[in-house]
Amino acid sequence: MTLPRLTLRLRIVLCFATAVVGLVAATCWLLVQSEQVALRKLAAENSRLARSAADQQSAALEGVLDDQIQSSEAELQTKAESLARLLADLAPTALLTFDTNALVALCKQATRDPDIDECTFFDAQDKKVGGDYKSRTARRGIRNERRPRALLCRGNGRIPDKADSGSGTRRGFG
């Protein structure tokens, strides 16, 4: 069996058809490759944006948490100072009569508040004069580090400045 001879016209058409098919194939391959590169870039950008959004959310949540902690600490500080003033106003009679049972009773009442771990009365020279009492949770060693762990009263209940170490009310955070 012999193949028919190809005419010049048929040869030219076959060459052009082969060239066109090759060009179409090369163009398709280039398009597929460029789409793959674009998809990889898009995936990397999406990943970067997702990490950035997660980091920003985390930072924002930490800021909100810090604000809440500061607000809670300020509220607890105010509560401790108010209670210290109240106890300092109630304590003079017991201090003058050396009624340590009354001081202990005052401290027991103060430590019923779940935010107060212990209560102690001091004189102007920082010497304990009575009322030394720890709450049940403080006696068991359970303590929340974010709340006032001690309420120390002395003098007239005045809250000293940070630099002031004279008479007044001293308070501390755990």
pLDDT, tens digit, for every residue of 2-45?
A: 667 878 888 899 999 999 999 999 999 999 999 999 999 999 99
Predicted confidence band of residue 88 (pLDDT cuts 50, 70, 90): confident
**pTM of the full predicted structure?**
0.50
Which tens digits make up the pLDDT trace of 57-86? Answer: 999 999 999 999 989 888 888 888 888 888
Confidence of residue 1 (pLDDT cuts 50, 70, 90): low
118, β-bridge pairs? 134
**What's the pLDDT at 154?**
39
Give yes or no for a contact between 150 and 111, defined as CB atoms under 8 angstroms apart: no
pLDDT-based confidence at 138, cuts 50/70/90? Answer: low
Largest CA distance in the chain: 135
* Block residue for tokens 């008479």: 167
Give the pLDDT of residue 174: 32
